[in-house]
Amino acid sequence: MTQVPRGRFITVEGQDGAGKTTNLSVIRDALERSGIPIVQSREPGGTPWGEALRELILNYRDTDIVPTAELLTIFAARAQHIHQVIAPALSAGKWVLCDRFTDATYAYQGGGRGISLDAIALLEHMVQGQLQPDLTLLFDVDIDTGNARAQQRSTADRFESEQASFKQAVRTRYLTIAKQNPQRVKVIDASQPLEQVVREVRSQVNDFIRKVVGE
């Protein structure tokens, strides 16, 4: 019987400026060296409609956006992203590498905005069904270092403009998620020099590839 291929789903997470985007190319390179076909994407976004929503989510500033509206918009973009990009790629045996996914919703909308975990879990179930990342690299860095790095790079979006207490709550929630899901979520100490971070990222990804190939 022909074996139906099943891709794997890898996500990167962390506070703003932790170094996720910088390390995506390292992960991509490790996968490509192993001959793994990949699709790279990001959230919010990943589809033309989702990218339009991303612009609203990150940069719309004319009025206060209520947390529930923000949450629903993020899951709207995610529903389209899963339907149009993630699920078809995984079914075709490709690996999906995504810059943020639902852990970010638990961290930012749950930890940061204070929305209940039950409300997020309800939408997660509705939009994703059983779909979960197979591996998540969480780039963890203290708030001041994250702020300084994010400022180097671009003007602040709605989340980067938040108070230190919001950012601390985001970080705390991420670390809680990692503690609760030690098999899936690997914490990278992103305060280290970039060369050391890159070494750890390569090592985590190569371990994961070996594990999958050995299954």
| Residues 157-176 within binding reach of ligand T5A (CB under 6 A) | 159-160
Which has the closest alpha carbon to 51: 111, 99, 121?
99
Contact pick of 8, 16, 86, 124 for ligand T5A (by CB under 6 A): 16
Residues 65-94, mask of contacts with ligand T5A (x by CB under 6 A): ---------x--------------------
Determine, following the binding rule CB under 6 A, whether residue 100 of this chain makes contact with ligand T5A.
yes
3-state helix, strand, coil in the chain (%, to 5): 55, 15, 30
Torsional sign, CA 157, 131, 9, 50: negative
Contact pick of 52, 122, 194, 203 for ligand T5A (by CB under 6 A): 194
Residues for the chain: how many in total?
A: 215
Contact 164, 177 (CB under 8 A): no
Quote the least distance from Cβ 184 to ligand T5A, whole Å. 17
Give the DSSP H/E element, type plus range, for residue 138: strand 135-140
Contact pick of 27, 73, 99, 187 for ligand T5A (by CB under 6 A): 99
Q: Residue 179: how many CB atoms within 10 A of its CB?
A: 10
Which has the closest alpha carbon to 178: 55, 3, 12, 24?
12
Tokens of 183: 């098999």
Residue 140 bridge partners (DSSP)? 189
Tell me the window of 2-10, 17-25, 81-89, 180-188 that interacts with ligand T5A (CB under 6 A): 17-25
Determine, following the binding rule CB under 6 A, whether residue 9 of this chain makes contact with ligand T5A.
no
Binding-site size for ligand T5A (CB under 6 A) equals 28
Tell me the window of 33-41, 89-97, 116-124, 148-156 that interacts with ligand T5A (CB under 6 A): 148-156
Which chain residues interact with ligand T5A by CB under 6 A?
14, 16-22, 43-44, 58, 74, 99-100, 104-105, 108-109, 149-150, 152-153, 159-160, 190, 193-194, 197
